[in-house]
Amino acid sequence: MKIRVTIDSDDIAVSLKKVLIKHMLDSGVDVTDLDYAGKHPGALYPEVGYNLALKIKNKEFDRGILICGTGLGMAMIANKVETVYAGVCHDVYSAERLRKSNDAQILTMGSRVIGTELAKTIVSAWLNAEFEKGGSLPKVEQMRMLERKSFHPEK
């Protein structure tokens, strides 16, 4: 089964987004560019990130990639959406662990932090990794339980 991947960026990271789209298409990955900022001139990264995270939550896509200057803001806003897990990665090992250990659906990166070749390698590693469960499963389950408590506190 092919995974459904989406990508988006703020205006700062459009050039890296285009490079990553081409890289994924050349690798046979089915990727959709949401282009939120292109459709909503003046949109700031929180809107871009929130829009993509909602699509992940609603299962329109299996995984998403968000890019801004550092990747930090995109990770922060994506993690505000219930059941969505995002992490910023600027190295291959962290990108693999983001999937293998944390079952995260969204990878965030910073166009001002890494170069294009490293970004392509990170994306490939993340897309090829799958959640291993094992010793990480109890931790991820606890994260999900604590998330439910945060979003749905008892009255």
Catalytic residue among 7, 34, 52, 68: 68
Neighbours of 106 (CB within 10 A): 26
Active-site residue flag, 89: no
On whether the CB atoms of residues 23 and 126 are closer than 8 A, the answer is no
Which token pair is 114?
């890494």
Instruction: Name the β-bridge partners of 110.
Output: 68
Of 110, 104, 113, nearest to 79 (Cα)? Answer: 104
Q: Are 98 and 104 in contact (CB under 8 A)?
A: yes
70 and 110 Cβ atoms separated by less than 8 Å: yes
**Active-site positions?**
68
